[in-house]
Structure 1
Amino acid sequence: MHFNPYGGPGAQAAAALVNLQDMPPEVVLATLRDHGMAVTAVSPSDASAIAAWRLRLREVFATSDVDARVELLNRLLADSASAPYISRHDGRPPHLHYHVSGGSIVDRVRAYTAGGLAHLVCEDPARAGSCDRLGCDTVFVDTSRNGRRRFCSTRCATRVYVADHRQRQTG
């Protein structure tokens, strides 16, 4: 049983934000809600600030060096964390929040994503990845059983495997 919501959904939200191509407020809102955040609105300025934050999140996925990931995450946590507190909202059971009570949506997103990635890296640093297909910059949280995921999707994996097969046939 996984009790800490920052470890799973927070890391998944970080990956989803990094993978967004366009960041209009309605897309950011839908993405946050899809990943467990009780958010009712995202303003254009909020979306812009979250877009800037996602560039910092991408750096965590871009490196496979554990020490570099830890350093990047410590900086993200320093820029996002506050004293944790227990919250009960929207009919949910009591749970911890790592952002300032009453803080902005941007503060909440920063705390949620940085905290999620921090828990992920502490549990298994290799589970934050980026697609191995040349030209694909999609990132992911590896939730596979064996933790050896290399591609963002079956489509990217198939493209690489088919290209490798064709090369072997002609070589």
Structure 2
Amino acid sequence: MVFAHDTEMSLQAAAALVNTLEPPPTLDAVTDLTAFFDRFGYTGRHDRTRAELDDVRALRPRLRELLTADRDTAVGIVNDLLAQHQAVPRLVRHAPLDWHLHAVPDDAPLATRIAVETALAMIDVIREDELSRLGVCADDGCEGVVVDLSRNRSKRFCSTTCGNRNAVAAYRARQAAD
């Protein structure tokens, strides 16, 4: 494991959220947000309203900027997000996780909790100088964000779809060369 479980989950959730900007567009319905909430194990307040969905969707460009920033820029964004949301880190424990960090109340809006949890995760990434684990998809037609938590740092594509598309293209190029 490269990072603590909550850090890894927050990074993966942030990338998945940012990647809903990529075609085909997703995260269009409140039910999509509920599926996201459940998939990444969020706890606390979840209003299940269009307003909440709009707030979470509005967060995507800022998270994309954070996940693709250089180290110094990322520090500024992290500090801004933590100050904006008046984050005060505290240790909490709830199933299925052991002790981990939260920095806003459980009843804070979901978009606030996502922003702050991503900022907290990025603190670990920045302190460990591991920003090379974050990047943009290697598929020429995709701008998806990649979080590489593999031991050998080999993840290049944001999704199986992009990876498969490139594998097929490489195969076809080899066949054409023969």
Normalized against structure 1, the TM-score is what?
Answer: 0.78
- Please give the alpha-carbon distance, in whole angstroms, between the structure 1 residues aligned to 2:59 and 2:120: 14
2:153 & 2:2 partners in 1: Cα distance? 17
Q: Distance in 2 between matches of 1:157 and 1:128?
A: 17
AA in 1 matched with 2:102: H
Q: Which residue of 2 aligns with 1:109?
A: 114
The whole-number CA distance in structure 2 between the counterparts of 1:11 and 1:93 is: 18
Summarize the Cα distance change of 1:98–1:140 in structure 2 as closer, same or farther, 3 Å threshold: same
Displaced runs of 4+ in structure 1, greater than 6 A? none
Structure 2: 5+ residue runs without aligned partners? 21-25
Question: CA, structure 1 residues 139+108, in 2 after alignment: closer, same or farther (shift >3 Å)?
Answer: same
Cα offset for 1:82? Answer: 1.5
Answering whether residue 81 of structure 2 is matched by residue 76 of structure 1, we say yes
* Number of matched pairs: 170
In structure 2, which of residues 126, 133, 137 is the aligned counterpart of residue 127 of structure 1? 133
Of stretches 100-109 and 24-33 in structure 1, the one that deviates more from structure 2 is 100-109
1:135 deviates by: 1.5
Aligned to 2:12: 12
Alpha-carbon distance in 2 for matches of 1:2, 1:145: 8
* Selected match of 2:92 from 87, 91, 107: 87
Do the aligned partners of residues 24 and 121 (structure 1) sit closer, same or farther apart at CA in structure 2, a change above 3 Å counting?
A: farther
In the alignment, is residue 144 of structure 1 matched against residue 124 of structure 2? no
Unpaired runs of 5+ residues, structure 1, are: none
* Identity of matched residues, %: 34
Q: Distance in 1 between matches of 2:57 and 2:100?
A: 27
Equivalent residues of 2:125, 2:131 under 8 A apart: yes
Q: Residue 137 of structure 2 contacts residue 143 of structure 2 at CA under 8 Å; is this kept in 1?
A: yes
Match of 1:55 in 2: 61
TM-score by length of 2: 0.76
